[in-house]
Structure 1
Amino acid sequence: YHRDPRQEPRVPPLPLAVERPPHLSGSTPPTRPISRIEYVAHISRGKVPCQVPEDGGIGNADFNAGKKVSKYAYEILDLWRLKEPISLKLAISNGLLKGPPQKYCCVPLALLESCPMDTQEHIISRAPQETPVEGEMKDYVLPEESKEAPSS
């Protein structure tokens, strides 16, 4: 959900395992992107209208009222700026990405190993404000959670 530049609304929900989508930066003018990973974000689970606090964040009230196209919102819990941005060409040649991200992509373990987040510039850090998941998201569980023993 929007709270200045720290939230990013999305129409489809991200898989629950996606927590750190890399962000490719663009240049000005936007006709020719610089195509490099400069930021990594740790995001909350997807939230639906009425789960987003109306604390003055940009667009939060409209999102909760269903006036936005986006059906899900994600709070940016942590944001890191990489000290040494990774070019798209280098990311592909090192096997970190298969190509330019089209929507979102998980941060590969190899990127976290080669570029530990605790050594990067930590721009945003906030505790998650998770609320009970309702509606469409309630059946959206991680595989580990769905393998519980049946109760009698």
Structure 2
Amino acid sequence: MECIGNPTGGNLIGNALWTGTPLLPFLQRAGVKPEAVQFMMHGADYYETTLPVAELQCPDVRLVYRMNQAPLKKEHGFPVRIIIPGYFGQKQPKWLVKLEAITQEKYGYWERQGWSNTATIPTHALTRQVQKHRVWNGDRQVTLTRSGEAG
């Protein structure tokens, strides 16, 4: 988890083991209408932000209720928060109380203050691009000898 305002080498970044459930089955059961373009995510603190519908329908988006094998603490979003890999914390509200499918693009709190509306972490965005494209066709094979040299 990284704050969008974190400077290079800054300390506004953390690492945690999140435990939760995939969001996608809930969205599938709810039946997102085709005219929906974004989800507005609402926190109990009245914070709100948006992302395109397709981004929240990724299978790795989670509704989480545990952090580092312990129940979420209030300051980290108890009882539930959303984790969306590849995005700065600005796009991952704590204390999630509502997901709203909307038909027109809107800006959330920080976006209205001039912060990025996409808020993707650049290194994660590159990884996601690679993951979406097949980079190996099975025609090539690399073997390593015991000495570690490629053959």
TM-score, normalised relative to structure 1: 0.30
| Larger Rg belongs to | 2
Greater RCO, CA 8 A, separation 6+: 1
